[in-house]
A = this chain, B = another copy of it.
Amino acid sequence: MKKIFVVGLGPGNLSQMTNRALEALEKSDVIAGYTVYIDLIKDRFKGTQMISTAMKKEADRCNLAVDEAVKGKTVSMVCSGDAGVYGMAGLMYEIVHARGLDEDVEIEVIPGITAACSGAAVLGAPLIHDFTVISLSDLLTPWELIEKRLECAAVGDFSICLYNPSSIKRYDYLQKACDILLKHREPENVAGYVQNIGREGETGIITDLKTLRDTKVDMFTTVFIGNSKTKNINGKMVTPRGYKEVEGSK
Protein backbone atom coordinates (compact mmCIF):
# COMPACT_ATOMS: atom_id res chain seq x y z
CA MET A 1 0.00 0.00 0.00
CA LYS A 2 1.37 3.42 -0.98
CA LYS A 3 1.21 6.10 1.69
CA ILE A 4 0.37 9.80 1.81
CA PHE A 5 0.45 11.78 5.04
CA VAL A 6 -1.55 15.00 5.09
CA VAL A 7 0.19 16.94 7.84
CA GLY A 8 -0.92 20.00 9.80
CA LEU A 9 2.11 22.13 10.73
CA GLY A 10 0.28 24.31 13.26
CA PRO A 11 0.72 28.08 13.31
CA GLY A 12 3.84 29.95 12.23
CA ASN A 13 7.11 28.52 13.43
CA LEU A 14 7.62 24.81 13.97
CA SER A 15 7.61 24.80 17.79
CA GLN A 16 3.85 24.30 17.58
CA MET A 17 4.09 21.23 15.35
CA THR A 18 3.54 17.86 17.09
CA ASN A 19 6.11 15.08 17.27
CA ARG A 20 3.73 12.89 15.29
CA ALA A 21 3.85 15.44 12.46
CA LEU A 22 7.64 15.67 12.69
CA GLU A 23 7.99 11.89 12.50
CA ALA A 24 5.79 11.73 9.40
CA LEU A 25 7.97 14.33 7.66
CA GLU A 26 11.11 12.43 8.68
CA LYS A 27 9.70 9.21 7.14
CA SER A 28 8.78 10.92 3.86
CA ASP A 29 10.71 10.72 0.58
CA VAL A 30 8.78 13.70 -0.81
CA ILE A 31 7.21 16.73 0.89
CA ALA A 32 4.62 18.70 -1.09
CA GLY A 33 2.92 21.96 -0.21
CA TYR A 34 2.21 25.58 -0.92
CA THR A 35 5.46 27.47 -1.47
CA VAL A 36 5.23 29.44 1.78
CA TYR A 37 4.89 26.28 3.92
CA ILE A 38 7.68 24.49 2.07
CA ASP A 39 9.93 27.47 2.83
CA LEU A 40 9.15 27.01 6.54
CA ILE A 41 10.50 23.46 6.66
CA LYS A 42 13.01 23.05 3.85
CA ASP A 43 16.07 23.81 5.99
CA ARG A 44 15.10 21.14 8.47
CA PHE A 45 14.60 18.45 5.76
CA LYS A 46 17.47 19.22 3.39
CA GLY A 47 17.80 15.80 1.79
CA THR A 48 14.09 15.45 1.06
CA GLN A 49 12.57 16.07 -2.38
CA MET A 50 10.26 19.10 -2.23
CA ILE A 51 7.29 19.90 -4.49
CA SER A 52 5.83 23.35 -4.08
CA THR A 53 2.99 24.93 -6.02
CA ALA A 54 1.35 28.34 -5.96
CA MET A 55 -1.79 29.33 -4.06
CA LYS A 56 -5.09 28.28 -5.70
CA LYS A 57 -3.32 25.29 -7.31
CA GLU A 58 -4.55 22.87 -4.64
CA ALA A 59 -5.77 20.17 -7.03
CA ASP A 60 -2.51 20.25 -9.03
CA ARG A 61 -0.56 19.94 -5.78
CA CYS A 62 -2.57 16.90 -4.69
CA ASN A 63 -2.20 15.28 -8.10
CA LEU A 64 1.58 15.76 -8.06
CA ALA A 65 1.71 14.23 -4.57
CA VAL A 66 -0.40 11.25 -5.70
CA ASP A 67 1.88 10.78 -8.75
CA GLU A 68 4.86 10.41 -6.42
CA ALA A 69 3.01 8.02 -4.10
CA VAL A 70 2.04 5.86 -7.08
CA LYS A 71 5.78 5.57 -7.92
CA GLY A 72 6.21 4.03 -4.47
CA LYS A 73 7.43 7.05 -2.56
CA THR A 74 6.18 8.03 0.89
CA VAL A 75 4.74 11.51 0.52
CA SER A 76 3.74 14.21 2.99
CA MET A 77 1.41 17.01 1.95
CA VAL A 78 1.87 19.86 4.40
CA CYS A 79 -0.75 22.45 5.42
CA SER A 80 -0.54 25.34 7.85
CA GLY A 81 -2.70 24.96 10.95
CA ASP A 82 -4.72 21.74 10.85
CA ALA A 83 -4.85 19.55 7.74
CA GLY A 84 -8.57 18.99 8.39
CA VAL A 85 -9.81 22.58 8.82
CA TYR A 86 -9.84 24.33 5.42
CA GLY A 87 -6.76 22.17 4.75
CA MET A 88 -5.81 19.60 2.11
CA ALA A 89 -7.12 16.42 3.78
CA GLY A 90 -10.53 16.48 2.09
CA LEU A 91 -9.28 17.25 -1.40
CA MET A 92 -6.68 14.49 -1.10
CA TYR A 93 -9.38 11.90 -0.35
CA GLU A 94 -11.46 13.22 -3.25
CA ILE A 95 -8.59 13.11 -5.74
CA VAL A 96 -7.34 9.66 -4.75
CA HIS A 97 -10.93 8.44 -5.16
CA ALA A 98 -11.48 10.25 -8.48
CA ARG A 99 -8.33 8.58 -9.82
CA GLY A 100 -9.59 5.14 -8.76
CA LEU A 101 -6.72 4.65 -6.31
CA ASP A 102 -8.69 3.95 -3.10
CA GLU A 103 -7.20 0.48 -2.81
CA ASP A 104 -3.64 1.52 -3.69
CA VAL A 105 -2.98 4.69 -1.71
CA GLU A 106 -3.54 4.98 2.03
CA ILE A 107 -4.07 8.49 3.40
CA GLU A 108 -3.21 9.31 7.02
CA VAL A 109 -4.31 12.71 8.29
CA ILE A 110 -2.08 14.14 11.02
CA PRO A 111 -3.83 16.96 12.83
CA GLY A 112 -2.23 20.27 13.73
CA ILE A 113 -3.27 23.31 15.72
CA THR A 114 -5.73 25.35 13.69
CA ALA A 115 -5.89 29.16 13.84
CA ALA A 116 -9.14 29.05 15.85
CA CYS A 117 -7.20 27.44 18.72
CA SER A 118 -3.86 29.23 18.33
CA GLY A 119 -5.52 32.61 17.86
CA ALA A 120 -7.87 32.01 20.80
CA ALA A 121 -4.85 31.36 23.02
CA VAL A 122 -3.39 34.76 22.09
CA LEU A 123 -6.62 36.58 22.99
CA GLY A 124 -7.41 34.62 26.19
CA ALA A 125 -10.20 32.04 26.06
CA PRO A 126 -12.90 33.16 23.60
CA LEU A 127 -13.80 29.64 22.38
CA ILE A 128 -13.97 27.90 25.73
CA HIS A 129 -17.67 27.14 25.16
CA ASP A 130 -19.71 26.15 22.07
CA PHE A 131 -18.41 27.86 18.93
CA THR A 132 -18.56 28.01 15.14
CA VAL A 133 -15.81 28.39 12.58
CA ILE A 134 -16.80 30.15 9.34
CA SER A 135 -14.67 31.19 6.36
CA LEU A 136 -15.65 34.44 4.65
CA SER A 137 -14.00 33.38 1.38
CA ASP A 138 -16.58 32.94 -1.38
CA LEU A 139 -14.08 31.51 -3.87
CA LEU A 140 -15.58 28.02 -3.42
CA THR A 141 -18.73 28.78 -1.39
CA PRO A 142 -21.77 30.87 -2.44
CA TRP A 143 -21.95 34.09 -0.41
CA GLU A 144 -25.64 33.40 0.38
CA LEU A 145 -24.63 30.23 2.29
CA ILE A 146 -21.96 32.16 4.20
CA GLU A 147 -24.62 34.77 5.14
CA LYS A 148 -27.00 32.05 6.31
CA ARG A 149 -24.32 30.49 8.50
CA LEU A 150 -23.43 33.87 10.03
CA GLU A 151 -27.10 34.42 10.79
CA CYS A 152 -27.43 30.99 12.43
CA ALA A 153 -24.22 31.46 14.43
CA ALA A 154 -25.50 34.83 15.69
CA VAL A 155 -28.97 33.52 16.62
CA GLY A 156 -27.48 30.46 18.40
CA ASP A 157 -25.32 32.76 20.53
CA PHE A 158 -22.18 30.85 19.57
CA SER A 159 -18.70 32.26 19.92
CA ILE A 160 -17.61 32.72 16.30
CA CYS A 161 -14.20 32.41 14.67
CA LEU A 162 -13.85 33.85 11.15
CA TYR A 163 -11.16 32.61 8.74
CA ASN A 164 -10.20 34.51 5.59
CA PRO A 165 -11.99 37.63 6.81
CA SER A 166 -10.77 39.85 4.01
CA SER A 167 -8.67 40.16 0.88
CA ILE A 168 -8.03 42.92 -1.65
CA LYS A 169 -11.03 41.89 -3.75
CA ARG A 170 -13.20 41.11 -0.72
CA TYR A 171 -12.23 44.25 1.24
CA ASP A 172 -15.74 44.78 2.68
CA TYR A 173 -16.65 41.18 3.63
CA LEU A 174 -15.87 41.56 7.31
CA GLN A 175 -18.09 44.66 7.40
CA LYS A 176 -20.92 42.75 5.70
CA ALA A 177 -20.47 39.84 8.14
CA CYS A 178 -20.56 42.17 11.16
CA ASP A 179 -23.73 43.82 9.84
CA ILE A 180 -25.44 40.40 9.83
CA LEU A 181 -24.22 39.62 13.36
CA LEU A 182 -25.32 43.07 14.60
CA LYS A 183 -28.92 42.20 13.72
CA HIS A 184 -28.88 39.69 16.60
CA ARG A 185 -26.08 40.86 18.91
CA GLU A 186 -25.36 43.97 20.91
CA PRO A 187 -22.85 46.47 19.43
CA GLU A 188 -20.83 45.99 22.67
CA ASN A 189 -20.48 42.21 22.14
CA VAL A 190 -16.81 41.51 22.87
CA ALA A 191 -14.75 40.74 19.74
CA GLY A 192 -11.09 40.50 18.82
CA TYR A 193 -8.62 39.59 16.13
CA VAL A 194 -5.12 38.20 15.84
CA GLN A 195 -2.57 38.98 13.16
CA ASN A 196 0.43 36.79 12.27
CA ILE A 197 -0.35 33.99 14.74
CA GLY A 198 2.81 32.25 15.91
CA ARG A 199 4.97 34.46 13.67
CA GLU A 200 6.99 37.63 14.00
CA GLY A 201 4.60 40.51 14.59
CA GLU A 202 1.94 38.41 16.34
CA THR A 203 -0.64 40.90 17.61
CA GLY A 204 -3.92 40.34 19.41
CA ILE A 205 -6.50 43.12 19.68
CA ILE A 206 -9.63 43.06 21.86
CA THR A 207 -12.49 45.28 20.75
CA ASP A 208 -16.27 45.12 20.33
CA LEU A 209 -18.53 44.13 17.45
CA LYS A 210 -19.42 47.66 16.32
CA THR A 211 -15.74 48.73 16.25
CA LEU A 212 -14.75 45.50 14.49
CA ARG A 213 -17.29 46.34 11.78
CA ASP A 214 -15.26 49.42 10.83
CA THR A 215 -11.84 47.79 11.17
CA LYS A 216 -9.73 46.84 8.15
CA VAL A 217 -7.97 43.49 8.54
CA ASP A 218 -5.83 41.55 6.08
CA MET A 219 -5.97 37.93 4.95
CA PHE A 220 -3.44 36.89 7.61
CA THR A 221 -5.90 37.82 10.35
CA THR A 222 -8.21 35.52 12.30
CA VAL A 223 -11.28 37.19 13.82
CA PHE A 224 -13.17 36.22 16.99
CA ILE A 225 -16.63 37.32 18.10
CA GLY A 226 -17.58 36.20 21.60
CA ASN A 227 -21.01 34.98 22.64
CA SER A 228 -23.29 37.41 24.49
CA LYS A 229 -21.65 36.47 27.84
CA THR A 230 -18.01 36.88 26.73
CA LYS A 231 -16.11 39.36 28.90
CA ASN A 232 -13.07 41.56 28.56
CA ILE A 233 -11.08 40.63 31.67
CA ASN A 234 -8.07 42.91 32.02
CA GLY A 235 -7.49 42.99 28.26
CA LYS A 236 -8.22 39.30 27.65
CA MET A 237 -11.28 37.91 25.87
CA VAL A 238 -12.86 35.28 28.14
CA THR A 239 -16.06 33.33 27.52
CA PRO A 240 -17.46 31.95 30.79
CA ARG A 241 -18.52 28.32 31.05
CA GLY A 242 -20.80 28.95 34.01
CA TYR A 243 -18.81 27.77 37.03
CA LYS A 244 -20.80 28.91 40.06
CA GLU A 245 -17.68 29.26 42.21
CA VAL A 246 -16.40 32.27 40.27
CA GLU A 247 -19.69 33.73 39.18
CA GLY A 248 -20.96 33.63 42.74
CA SER A 249 -17.82 35.34 43.98
CA LYS A 250 -18.31 38.45 41.84
Task: Give chain A's interface residues, CB within 8 Å of chain B.
Answer: 8, 10, 14-20, 23, 58-59, 82-87, 89-91, 93-95, 97-98, 102, 107, 109-114, 117-118, 120-122, 124-135, 140-141, 145-146, 148-149, 151-153, 155-158, 233-234, 236, 238-243, 245-246, 249-250
Pull 10 A–B residue pairs with CB atoms less than 8 Å apart, ordered by A: A14-B19, A16-B20, A16-B111, A18-B113, A85-B128, A86-B129, A93-B238, A117-B117, A140-B243, A148-B156
Q: Which residues of B contact A84 (CB under 8 A)?
A: 117, 120-121, 125-128
Q: Which residues of B contact A246 (CB under 8 A)?
A: 59, 91, 94-95, 98
- Distance in angstroms from A2 CB to nearest chain B CB is 15
Please tell me how many copies of the chain the complex holds: 2
Contact A238 to B133, CB < 8 A, known contacts A15-B23, A125-B84, A149-B157: no
Contact between B18 and A89 (Cβ–Cβ < 8 Å)?
Answer: no
From A8, A121, A240, name the one whose CB has the most chain B CB atoms within 10 angstroms: A121
From A98, A152, A242, name the one whose CB has the most chain B CB atoms within 10 angstroms: A152
Contact between B85 and A117 (Cβ–Cβ < 8 Å)?
Answer: yes
Contact between A243 and B59 (Cβ–Cβ < 8 Å)?
Answer: yes
Please name the residue on chain B nearest to A132 by beta carbon. B132
Q: Which residues of B contact A131 (CB under 8 A)?
A: 85, 132-133
- Distance in angstroms from A67 CB to nearest chain B CB is 15
Contact A111 to B102, CB < 8 A, known contacts A18-B10, A130-B133, A130-B149: no
Q: How far is the CA of A230 from the CA of B156 in the complex (A)?
A: 22
Please name the residue on chain B nearest to A23 by beta carbon. B15
Which residue from B94, B109, B112, B239 sits with its C-beta under 8 Å from A240? B94
